[in-house]
Amino acid sequence: MEISYKTKGVCSRGIRVEIEDGIIKSVVFDGGCSGNTQGVAALAKGMRIDEVIDRLSGIRCGFKSTSCPAQLAQALKEYKTVKGE
């Protein structure tokens, strides 16, 4: 299943995540700091949803209250809520 998430408070405009059986298959950030978002996407690939949420929640970007990694965690939290997990 692929989900799309509109980010809030960060440079990237959105995130697309492909999930299969609770495992991240791919992550694509629309915009943002290319090297950083590609790195986060590569690290998240193959990880369980809950592990990504645990590791990335609460990360801040400079003085912002959130970050692109934290927005990925938020997208996954919303996915779990909708799926009833």
From the options 2.60.40, 3.40.50, 1.10.150, 3.30.390, give the CATH code of 2-80: 3.30.390
Q: Order the strands of the 2-6 sheet from edge to edge.
A: 2-6, 14-20, 23-30
Confidence of residue 83 (pLDDT cuts 50, 70, 90): confident
* pLDDT of 85 over the 80 cut: no
Could you read off the pLDDT of 48-82 as tens digits, one per residue?
999 999 999 999 999 999 999 999 999 999 999 98
User: Is residue 1 exposed (0-12), middle (13-18) or buried (19+ Cβ within 10 Å)?
Assistant: exposed
Domains of the chain: which residue ranges? 2-80
